[in-house]
Amino acid sequence: MRRLSSLLVPALFVLLACDAPAISPSGGAGELRPADPEVAPPPVAQPVPVAAPQAPPTPSAATGEDWNADEIRWLDFDAGMARARAENKPVCLVLHADWCPHCRTYAHVFDDPRIVAQAQRLVMVRVNVDQVPAVAGRYAVDGTYVPRTYFLKPDGTVLERVDAHRAQYRYFFDEHDPASILGGMLAALAPG
């Protein structure tokens, strides 16, 4: 018991000293005075400035696909349809998803210079099916697979005559060969 009290007394003194006000040793006998006001108080920690929040990267940037955004002017659905009506141009609508490996591969066919040249003659619209499910549902002519690419009239109706020439997955253009989507672009631009 004696040993316990010998440990508690110094510990109690330390605890009390932590809460005690600062005192000046210059006080008279037994006199305690507040610390000298001319002595600068210890520095107070300043809040660290926080950078303004930045918009999260676009899903395509997050997955490493840019769909050749430097050379092709991609629009969202509403802006693209407004432009198509105003300029009376057909639309190339690409429906894709971030989680889709075929979409990541397909994104690179848009690097081809022939595709870039034809893209200038069309309104190019790209829609992430997970972010805009209403548009994805509206354009599910033969299923909800991705990627799907439709060519539309300026009023938004599908040009049924323009597809990837497959019995199944008619709007799945070859993800490895730019000639496939190039053929669709040229067909959409042809009169008739």
Q: Which amino acid is at 135?
A: V
Pull the structure tokens for residue 163: 């597809």
Q: What domains can be seen in the chain, in order of their start residue? A: 59-189 (3.40.30.10)
pLDDT of residue 6: 52
Mean pLDDT by 10 residues, the chain (192 residues): 49 39 40 42 37 36 74 98 98 98 97 98 98 97 97 98 96 98 98 83
Characterize the bridge pairing of strands 123-128 and 74-75.
parallel
pLDDT of residue 64: 53
Sheet hosting strand 91-96, strand order edge to edge:
74-75, 123-128, 91-96, 148-152
Neighbours of 90 (CB within 10 A): 20
pLDDT of residue 28: 44
**Could you tell me the CA-to-CA distances from 25 to 11, 32, 42, 56, 159 in Å, in that order?**
23, 8, 18, 58, 92
Tell me the pTM: 0.68
